[in-house]
């Protein structure tokens, strides 16, 4: 069926990979990228597809109810894939209200816009909310997050995402809005904003700057290549069951310090450095408050029901990522000027 899909946050890291996948894979669809271009949104991420006939960009803030109403009336979407969010935990510790506005109120605005545009005519319609494994809180040494794990968020970011998930489910239960949610683990790959661990450390190694490891460095994350997340989103959007949740993850757990050492060794090879050169930049600094010890996703439901599994190994994905940052130094320069420098100073001042 021909579709018109509003993808919010399409100029960001994951959103840009989702927009590209849909624009190329579904030439009959119309893809509307709705994004307000905050510090994390960058149309350079989409240069290669921006002139495609099935793609259009709308600069709209999801806090702008009139703007959303206008876009829904103009394009008459069959679906929404909602990725727009404030996404960085450290920023949420400095400015929690920004996360409440965009992640909670912005999501409710979008739900209202869909509900009002669709007027109960829900056949063939779908509201897909992209969320995070951080809503489940922290694991001990063992175990996995399943779709049944109780929500237990610890940071303002994860609390705002948990709240938005609850609102999406509430709109399903109360108004019958056809909704689906996925909760994914840590993504990495091209176009990742260099405030997050992997791209920050790639940039710092290039700049010969310290690599600031929080606390004891023994925190564990489950890493997934961003293009594998995009293919999972494609499957959930098309084949997922309404009013369901799907956990998405890489079955790829790494303690931060082990990941950083692997990254250092790959970077040393890339830079023709003597082995061990980049390790010398590792600097332990004070911990992130409320830091969740371990995340690990049980992705067996999406595997069994929709046949999804990650296709890129971690070493392959990291190498692709490093190569991308070396080939796109202009992109890196553009995003690490201005506001970024102020953020960096505040976050990493001793
Ligand atoms: P990102 O920060 O790279 O991009 C967010 C995008 O949303 C940007 O393009 C930004 O301009 C836009 N945006 C922010 N506020 C907006 C507003 N008020 N109105 C309109 N647009 C706005 O984020 P990301 O890492 O690509 O994450 C995308 C989504 O996936 C988020 O909802 C995040 O919670 C979720 N998620 C991320 C990860 C991860 O590892 N990055 C993992 C699981 C889930
Ligand atoms: O789990 C999914 C989540 O993954 C997404 O919902 C978030 O949007 C995304 O930002 C990411 O959150 P994390 O907090 O896990 O990612 P981050 O890259 O900020 O940190 C990864 C780990 O590395 C975490 O344990 C904190 C640590 N870290 C991070 C930074 C930026 C450091 O030790 N030093 C750093 O400078």
Strand order in the sheet with 4-8: 55-59, 30-35, 4-8, 79-82, 126-132, 179-184, 244-248
> Which of 129, 197, 228 to mutate for ligand 2's pocket (most ligand atoms within 8 Å of CB)?
197
**pLDDT tens-digit series, residues 244-269:** 999 999 999 999 999 999 999 999 99
Contacts for 308 with CB less than 8 Å, ≥ 6 apart: 231, 232, 235, 248, 299, 302
pLDDT at res. 149:
98
pLDDT at 148: 98
Q: Is 137 in the pocket of ligand 2 (CB under 6 A)?
A: no
> Cα Rg for the chain, rounded, in angstroms?
20
Any residues with CB less than 8 A from the CB of 172 and at least 6 apart, and which? 178, 179, 242, 243
Q: Which two tokens stand for residue 122?
A: 């829900």
Question: What is the domain partition of the chain in residue ranges?
Answer: 4-192+223-252+293-311
Helix axes 107-118, 156-175, angle to 10 degrees: 20
Give the whole-number percent of the chain exceeding pLDDT 90. Answer: 97
Asked if residues 183 and 149 have their Cβ atoms less than 8 Å apart, the reply is no
134 annotated active-site: yes
d(CA 158, CA 284): 24
User: Which residue's C-alpha comes closest to atom 15 of ligand 2?
Assistant: 186
Q: Which of 134, 165, 253, 292 is catalytic?
A: 134
Residues within 6 Å of ligand 1 by CB: 9, 11-15, 35-38, 40-41, 61-63, 83-87, 102, 106, 130, 132, 161, 184, 186-187, 193
Q: Give all strands (DSSP E) within the chain, no chain letters.
A: 4-8, 30-35, 55-59, 79-82, 126-132, 179-184, 186-188, 211-214, 220-225, 244-248, 253-255, 282-285
pLDDT score for 209: 97
Q: What is the mean pLDDT of the chain?
A: 97
Name the active-site residue from 157, 188, 295, 325.
157
pLDDT tens for 254-313 read: 999 999 999 999 999 999 999 999 999 999 999 999 999 999 999 999 999 999 999 999
SS (H, E, C) 89-116: HHHHHHCHHHHHHHHHHHHHHHHHHHHH
Of 41, 75, 172, the closest CA to residue 115 belongs to 172
- Over residues 30-56, the pLDDT tens digits come to 999 999 999 999 999 999 999 999 999
The yes-or-no verdict on residue 350 having pLDDT over 70 is no
What local confidence, expressed as pLDDT, does residue 338 receive?
87
Pick the CATH number of 4-192+223-252+293-311 from 3.20.20.150, 3.40.50.720, 1.10.287.3510, 3.40.1180.10: 3.40.50.720
Task: Report the alpha-carbon distance of residue 200 to residue 220 in Å, rounded.
Answer: 17
Q: What percent of the chain has pLDDT over 70?
A: 100
195 burial level (CB within 10 Å; 0-12, 13-18, 19+) = buried
pLDDT band at 1 (very low <50, low <70, confident <90, very high): confident
List, for residues 59-93, the tens digit of each pLDDT value: 999 999 999 999 999 999 999 999 999 999 999 99
**Residue 349's pLDDT band (cuts 50, 70, 90):** confident
Averaged over 215-235, what is the pLDDT?
98
Q: Could you tell me which residues come within 8 angstroms of residue 336 by beta carbon, excluding any fewer than 6 positions away? A: 194, 203
For the stretch 159-172, pLDDT in tens is 999 999 999 999 99
Closest ligand to the CA of 88: 2
119 Cβ contact partners less than 8 Å away, ≥ 6 residues apart: none
214 Cβ inside 6 Å of ligand 2? yes
Question: Per-residue pLDDT for 125 more than 90?
Answer: yes
* Cβ 229 under 6 angstroms from ligand 2: no
Residue 10 pLDDT class (50, 70, 90 cuts): very high
């Amino acid at each position: 069926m021909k579709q018109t899909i509003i993808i919010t946050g399409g100029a960001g890291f994951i959103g840009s990979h989702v927009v590209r996948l849909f624009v190329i894979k579904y030439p009959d669809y119309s893809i509307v990228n709705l994004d307000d271009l905050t510090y994390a949104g960058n149309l350079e991420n989409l240069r290669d597809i921006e002139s495609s006939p099935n793609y259009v960009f709308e600069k709209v803030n999801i806090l702008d109810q009139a703007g959303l109403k206008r876009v829904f009336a103009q394009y008459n979407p069959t679906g929404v894939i909602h990725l727009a969010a404030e996404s960085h935990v450290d920023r949420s510790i400095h400015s929690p209200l920004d996360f409440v506005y965009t992640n909670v109120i912005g999501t409710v605005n979008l739900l209202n816009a869909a509900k009002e545009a669709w007027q109960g005519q829900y056949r063939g319609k779908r509201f897909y909310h992209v969320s995070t494994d951080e809503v489940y809180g922290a694991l001990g040494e063992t175990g996995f997050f399943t779709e049944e794990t109780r929500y237990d968020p610890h940071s303002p970011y994860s609390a705002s995402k948990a709240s938005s998930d609850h609102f999406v489910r509430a709109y399903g239960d109360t108004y019958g809005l056809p909704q689906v949610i996925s909760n994914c683990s840590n993504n990495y790959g091209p176009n990742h904003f260099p405030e997050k661990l992997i791209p920050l450390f790639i940039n710092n190694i290039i700049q010969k700057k310290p690599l600031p490891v929080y606390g004891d460095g023994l925190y564990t994350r489950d890493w997934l290549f961003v293009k594998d997340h995009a293919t999972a989103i494609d499957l959930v959007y098309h084949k997922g069951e309404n009013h369901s949740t799907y956990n998405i993850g890489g079955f790829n757990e790494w303690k931060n310090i082990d990941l950083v050492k692997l990254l250092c060794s790959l970077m040393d090879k890339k830079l023709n450095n003597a082995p061990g050169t980049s390790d010398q930049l590792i600097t332990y600094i004070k911990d992130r408050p409320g830091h969740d010890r371990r995340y690990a996703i049980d992705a067996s439901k999406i595997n069994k029901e929709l046949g999804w599994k990650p296709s890129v190994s971690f070493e392959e994905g990291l190498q692709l990522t490093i190569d991308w940052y070396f080939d796109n130094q202009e992109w890196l320069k553009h995003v690490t000027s201005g506001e970024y420098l102020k953020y960096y100073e505040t976050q990493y001042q001793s």
